Amino acid sequence: MCNEPIDWLCSKAPGFEALTQEERDAIMHFALLWSFFEAKVLNSNGSAKSIVEVSKRWETDRRLTTEMFSDCLVYFRRRYFQNNDFTNHFADLKFRSRDKQPLVEAVLKGENENVADTVAALLIIVYRLRNNLFHGEKWADELKGQLDNFTHANALLMLALDLSTPWVRRSQNPGCENSLR
């Protein structure tokens, strides 16, 4: 029986061995953060609709500022919308009919600057990254070129989790000194 999943992936999954430790960590952290976000923020109902509802609630509660999400917005705009057109990367998100693609497009183009809509659009992009990773689309390209995607997605998920949950419990584990509060 295989006791080392990373070793197994390195020997069996095309391209996995070529990933840096930083790339592997970002992907693994994303899987953990997304599942925690979906459980705690979306009440285990991961969908574009629930993301929009949560971002509207944050806006109503006056928890949102544009500055909180500006780095992620700049990154995703550069990746998905250049020279007044959507990039090939945008098509690779593989939006489905219920994924609020028009909202995401309007935010990326700068046509909609409402803070709740911006946060929702960014989280919907992360949701599409999640679907593409968990349903195998990202493996088609051997997970190449995903470090920045997952780094920004992870930052966004941690911000969203901080907005949603009063963090009362601090870890007593010295390895978790950067725990969310």
pLDDT at residue 172 in the model: 54
State which H helix or E strand residue 86 sits in. strand 85-86
Over 90: is that where the pLDDT of 5 sits?
no
Q: How much is the CA Rg of the chain, to the nearest whole Å? A: 17
Higher pLDDT, 143 or 12: 12
Cβ–Cβ < 8 Å for 51, 120? yes
Cα 108 to Cα 81: distance, rounded to the nearest angstrom: 6
Please state the domain extents for the chain: 29-160
Provide the pLDDT for residue 160: 94
For the stretch 73-124, pLDDT in tens is: 999 999 999 999 999 999 999 999 999 999 999 999 999 999 999 999 999 9
Q: Where are the alpha helices (DSSP H) in 41-181?
A: 48-60, 70-80, 88-91, 101-109, 115-134, 137-140, 147-164
pLDDT over 80 at 9, yes or no: yes
pLDDT score for 46:
85
Tell me the pLDDT of the chain averaged across its residues: 86
